[in-house]
Structure 1
């Protein structure tokens, strides 16, 4: 891949960041796409790129790789050399336990140093890492462990019992390894991590993997039917890098003045068990040889700001739910904390202009919205350093990705006409885009259904709706199954939710259709209140008037229900389908 230095940058970018005549930010988007070329070797391994090359260098081996933090514990810094040594020990242990190339190994761990070790160990063996969230219940765990035919699982004290509880239903799962688990019988036969690694050597001969060989198996959220396992190749990390670098405002590399480049420190509350945490945080940070903060604890706004301050975090990925909570808790955060963010990316839901403006005015950083999926991560977004960001826009296709809004027949939609966001298998130069997944695990029909046309030369549909403006920016309309009609009008929930959050009484909101005999459906809003507000009839009327005065008359919520918390996925997305199902079976609320 053309990296973030001179080789991959247009000449104009290397010279300056602003038009010297107007002082307006330069728009280098077209030049980036025209000059960018993928460089994908035949052999490539994520662990080699993220760990081995740094750990085997005399100077880089001493760099900090992971800063481990947890409530009630002292912070601990772990170098690339330490990561390398521990990963080699674990690879040897897994080899001794019979794990072979291509076997699926479940990693059921929170953010911690050992989680990074586990990924590196599995990947350098040529085995397939399967991340599983510590928040999964027994049914979710059992389905994924059984469907993937995982042969081994790595847990800690917070997840061991849950995995043991379903292991009997997973006959191929023959071994469990436990980090910081209880001693003896309380461990239930699981192997102790520390004892296991202490028996092994610190050297390991890694597998020579093809770039298109399977590396990671991540299951989608299963919004319709059972979750599907997306098989991610090693080359997908290369495909992610343009999105990571752009969304993080060049991640410590100054494209305009190399002498001003600074060291980057990354942190995100995104769980390393999902694409946003693994492919958008942990792996790309390690790829660039920088430190990442691993916080093993629950998110809250105070914790977030304290971590950013204490560790000098320069770059972060914060999903909109987190940013909304931080904005409501600390409207003027610089009165309480000292920080200097250089890059901030958000994804999962639309940020909205209220949060966008707060990030710009109070955090001092333009938030770069990004859009992607498990199967084809990091394809659309913004980069405020290299082209103008527009509040509320998803951005444009990142360099190396050919992105369009298409209709049901696979034709590109005209400006302003909603359609399915899709990315082509080949970039603007006709070369294969490395970001693509290999397919759904044991589900060829679903794999074929993801593409329009021949898989080798076709569009991959995301199932997310957007419109394209005349300048090529995409504007999110919602999931295809989230958009609904009310009284004949097409309603996208994001715009209404964004409007509601601008009211000081609203901490968060979700909009769904409520079945109605006369109009087919009416707009209903579920609202989480900010501290100090009471959900009564007067507030309902005030919120309805708030929306009426800002959006189209048909968009205001005819019904508002106050709830303590919105149902969320483990990836920080609102589960509107849960709320829709509630309404379809006759859920009651407060109506004006």
Structure 2
């Protein structure tokens, strides 16, 4: 069947995957449909097999419409077969990455409420272990694909009512910003993506599609839908291998394929082969084609490469037409498909002018129904509203906020410049990581690059890049200097990386993106050599995480951040504050831990700012305030609970840090003390905004009276949630986080609702900055610090504390 381009915006016919398979069986039953390795199956054979399995699921496993059937398999033919069989039974399929380990598997099974797990012998022990170890999963049944027992069941499909809006998949996202979320995807979602693919590319029965991605991703599944639409065979490789990929393309005579992420760069880094252009390709689709390599990719394999933009949540959004040669090498990501609208908006949802960066928002069909069991998260990303007069132009729900930072050109073209939260804040400039990575990956010596922020006392953050080199390139300082020098010809000066660390490879998410939290964690626990390329900089081993007076450990999936400078009562220097904010952000995504505990060593939680470093200019004061501001931001923006385990004295800025946390647990020795006002120095945002939320009318007495508040007093007014023995403190905090983050939880959404809005906090930052400038200009700030040191000439107070910061 050929779907012409002029029908791209029409509703697909048939409207369900099951009806589409039935139609292909009726008109092309003997034609090849699926090819795995050297084995292949026709549309008719797959139709019969899936019908028998559907009856088995209903009669043996008791599957009813709407029940969830999880599939944990590598790329074997049983994957798409059980997908289609479960859909014929009216069930909802839950794809599970075959590389998952115990924690991930248990989370998905529990969150989805799966009744059946389909797996193979290699994964059966893990599945059994998870099911046996969790009473909530005791009734889940397991099917081993080695003996599916389908032969004795009817060869015709069960009489189950299915329509375009019937839920087909719970497709889990990779979970790099918290617990994975399941997108609810209907039959219309999959059929419409297949329809759009076939109509855009002109696919027909003479084509051969090829995919190498795991079936737990969405890409092979829409490839199945496209093959069903066009009546063309789909070749499925066991896995992606850059060295052998195009040999497989030639062997199977593939005409159409889709690659994504780092795959194009890895392919182009392979040694040239005289047979590279000896292929049947007429089109390659790719997401995020490296702009500088685009023409080289086309030239090497003799086929057009065109951009496809979309997300699991929304399917196909924008496509570069086959004849659109003008976009080659521009970085443009295509034009909206007829069933979609796109807008580029600022933080308030207002459309930005051409040439200015903003967030890409999308609406129309296909689109997920929402996130499974997460209405608050659904409402956050799928928002109503839009340009006046355009409501209802496109059928569908709200505008999907993609999180992608883009620029729209005068011609309407869209170019991605980064992720909204994947930025480095260097001085007053925002550096988009993706732009720096793209410049580096144009270098023939570089296989891959990943940019992360590195804390810096002066600029706030510096640009650091992890680089994977091509084979045979020495990982030394000379190579680092040469790569950065070449990249510097393409980047503004403030975007050029200062630090380079070479790696053998990158940890990746299930969607093949580099997992930057995992990369930073790996670098912290197994540091390599970091090349500091500023003038006079040196190459040195990467610092251990315990440096900067902050120790980082993980217990029971909870990150414990410990201030570890007891001889100075854990006074916070600038480096420690930078490291603390960075550590909170790293673990606060929820990708690797379920919560954060912040505590101290010795008898002090922290004595606030280290006043041994007296500011010599207002710039020093500004850095001091901004670093405390940034800790507040980091804590309030986490997607996991943060608990302060206040083991002793919490003075000044340290007292205010505890106010940012979601709870405070103390010991009998806990004391809070904010002495700044007594010395004429302004308080911080945490006191002005957060303290009144916690203790109401007691806030004035604490701040203006500048008195000490002991543990019982803090408990009485609500500043402490409980008091425990010192040896139970951290363990009690961990217990609380575990209790607050059960499987299938909405903790992140509740945190967002319960915490103060960042607009209110940012306004407090601005007020404090004005007050701090006034205090510095009037001489009050310096006089207040000097009066502290004058006081230290007298007998040391009983606690020996160094009072905190402004």
Question: Normalization by structure 2: what TM-score?
Answer: 0.61
* Distance apart, 1:161 and its partner CA: 2.3
Residues 146-545 of structure 1 mapped to structure 2, 5 A cutoff: 146-168=110-132, 169=134, 170-171=136-137, 173-180=139-146, 192-193=147-148, 196-241=149-194, 243-245=196-198, 249-252=201-204, 263-279=206-222, 281-296=223-238, 298-330=239-271, 332-335=272-275, 338-347=278-287, 350-385=288-323, 388-391=326-329, 392-424=331-363, 433-453=364-384, 458-545=398-485
Distance change >3 Å, CA 287–CA 166, structure 1 → 2: farther
Distance change >3 Å, CA 461–CA 6, structure 1 → 2: closer
User: Could you report, residue by residue, the CA deviation over 1:51-96 in whole angstroms, capped at 9, with x for unpaired residues?
Assistant: 2111123xx0011011111xxxxx0111111101110110011011
Instruction: Give 3-state SS (helix, strand or coil) of 2:185's partner.
Output: strand
Higher relative contact order (CA 8 A, sep 6+): 1
Instruction: Give 3-state SS (helix, strand or coil) of 1:231's partner.
Output: strand
Distance change >3 Å, CA 6–CA 146, structure 1 → 2: closer
Distance change >3 Å, CA 130–CA 542, structure 1 → 2: same
User: Could you report, residue by residue, the CA deviation over 1:110-131 in whole angstroms, capped at 9, with x for unpaired residues?
Assistant: 2222112111101122110111
Aligned residue number for residue 30 of structure 2: 62
Aligned residue number for residue 427 of structure 1: none
Q: Does 1:546 align with 2:498?
A: no
Instruction: Give 3-state SS (helix, strand or coil) of 1:346's partner.
Output: strand
Looking at structure 2, the residues matched to 390 and 129 of structure 1 have their Cα atoms a distance apart, in angstroms, of: 38
Distance change >3 Å, CA 377–CA 584, structure 1 → 2: farther
Question: Normalization by structure 1: what TM-score?
Answer: 0.83
Looking at structure 1, the residues matched to 484 and 118 of structure 2 have their Cα atoms a distance apart, in angstroms, of: 49
Aligned residue number for residue 537 of structure 2: none
Contact 2:314 2:365 in 1 (8 A): no
Q: Does 1:44 align with 2:15?
A: yes
Residue segments in structure 1 that go unaligned for 5+ positions in a row: 9-35, 70-74, 181-191, 253-261, 425-432
Contact 1:305 1:337 in 2 (8 A): no
* Distance apart, 1:587 and its partner CA: 5.9
Residue segments in structure 2 that go unaligned for 5+ positions in a row: 386-390, 534-806
The range that moved more, 458-467 or 572-581, is 572-581
* Distance apart, 1:173 and its partner CA: 4.8
Distance change >3 Å, CA 538–CA 590, structure 1 → 2: same
* Distance apart, 1:387 and its partner CA: 7.0
* Distance apart, 1:241 and its partner CA: 3.9
Distance change >3 Å, CA 538–CA 387, structure 1 → 2: closer
The range that moved more, 375-384 or 461-470, is 375-384
The range that moved more, 499-508 or 167-176, is 167-176
User: Could you report, residue by residue, the CA deviation over 1:431-471 in whole angstroms, capped at 9, with x for unpaired residues?
Assistant: xx331111111111111111222696632211111111111
Aligned residue number for residue 186 of structure 1: none
Looking at structure 1, the residues matched to 220 and 442 of structure 2 have their Cα atoms a distance apart, in angstroms, of: 28
Distance change >3 Å, CA 242–CA 545, structure 1 → 2: farther
Distance change >3 Å, CA 246–CA 395, structure 1 → 2: farther
Instruction: Give 3-state SS (helix, strand or coil) of 2:45's partner.
Output: helix
Looking at structure 2, the residues matched to 142 and 336 of structure 1 have their Cα atoms a distance apart, in angstroms, of: 44
Instruction: Give 3-state SS (helix, strand or coil) of 1:379's partner.
Output: strand
Q: What count of residue pairs does the alignment treat as equivalent? A: 519
Contact 1:218 1:230 in 2 (8 A): yes
* Distance apart, 1:272 and its partner CA: 1.4
Looking at structure 2, the residues matched to 231 and 149 of structure 1 have their Cα atoms a distance apart, in angstroms, of: 14
Instruction: Give 3-state SS (helix, strand or coil) of 1:317's partner.
Output: strand
Which structure has the larger Rg?
2
Contact 2:463 2:497 in 1 (8 A): yes
Contact 1:45 1:123 in 2 (8 A): no
Contact 1:356 1:366 in 2 (8 A): no
Q: Does 1:137 align with 2:101?
A: yes
Instruction: Give 3-state SS (helix, strand or coil) of 1:439's partner.
Output: coil
User: Could you report, residue by residue, the CA deviation over 1:280-302 in whole angstroms, capped at 9, with x for unpaired residues?
Assistant: x2222223221111222x32223
Aligned residue number for residue 595 of structure 2: none
Instruction: Give 3-state SS (helix, strand or coil) of 1:301's partner.
Output: coil
Distance change >3 Å, CA 586–CA 84, structure 1 → 2: closer
